Amino acid sequence: MRGYQAVLWLLTGTVLGSQAGSRLLDSIEAAESFSFVLPFSNKSNLDQNYCERKRKMNSFNGWTLSSESLLATLLVDPIRENTIREVQDCIFSVAYPTPFKSRVLLAAVSKDVLENILDLDASVRETDDFLQLVSGGKVVLGSVPLAHRYGGHQKVFYSPLLLCERPVQGAGLVVSDDDVWRDQFYNGNVKKERGAIVLRVAKSWFRIGSLEILAHSGELDLLRTLLDFVIQEHFPSVNMNDSNRYLDFFSRVVLETANLIALWMSVGFAHGVCNTDNFSLLSITIDYGPFGFMESYDPKFVPNTSDDERRYKIGNQANVGHFNLNKLSQALKPLLDPRQKQIASQILEGYSEHYHTRFTELFTAKLGLLGESEDDNYLIAFLLRLMEDTKADFTMVFQQLSEITQDHLKEHHIPQEFWALQNLAKHKLFSDWVALYLLRLERNMGDSDSKRRKRMTAINPRYVLRNWMAESAVQKAEMNDFSEVRLLQEVLQHPFQRQAAAEKAGYSLSPPAWAKDLKVSCSS
Whole-angstrom Cα distance, residue 475 to residue 503? 20
- Cβ atoms of 399 and 454 within 8 Å: the answer is no
In angstroms, the CA 15 to CA 25 distance is 6
d(CA 399, CA 461): 6
First to last CA, the chain: 7
* DSSP one-letter string for 256-290: HHHHHHHHHHHTTEE-S---GGGSBTT------SS
For residue 447, give Cα distances in angstroms to 242, 453, 454, 455: 47, 10, 11, 11
Contact 290, 303 (CB under 8 A): yes
Q: Find the largest Cα–Cα distance for the chain.
A: 73
For residues 281 and 444, give the distance between their C-alpha atoms in angstroms, rounded to a whole number.
38
The phi and psi torsions of 280 (rounded to 5 degrees) equal -70, 145
Hey, what's the torsion of the CAs at 235, 241, 242, 243, to 10 degrees?
Answer: 110
Report whether 150 contacts 162 (CB < 8 A).
yes
Which DSSP symbol is given to 393?
Answer: B
* 255 Cβ contact partners less than 8 Å away, ≥ 6 residues apart: 354
Residue 202 has what DSSP assignment?
B
In which region does residue 287 sit, left (phi positive, over 0), alpha (psi from -120 to 50) or beta (all else)?
A: left
Given the residues 26, 77, 119, 277, the one annotated as active site: 277
Q: Give the separation between CA 57 and CA 126, rounded to whole angstroms.
A: 13
Tell me the C-alpha to C-alpha distance, in Å, between residue 399 and each of 297, 479, 497. Answer: 14, 34, 11
Backbone angles phi and psi of 425, in degrees to 5: -70, -10
- How far, in Å, CA of 225 to CA of 393, rounded? 47
Q: Are 269 and 289 in contact (CB under 8 A)?
A: no
How far apart are alpha carbons 322 and 340 in whole angstroms? 19
Catalytic residue list contains 277: yes
- Going by C-alpha positions, the residue among 282, 271, 263 that lies closest to residue 316 is 271
Q: Give the number of residues written for the chain.
A: 524
Active-site residue numbers? 277
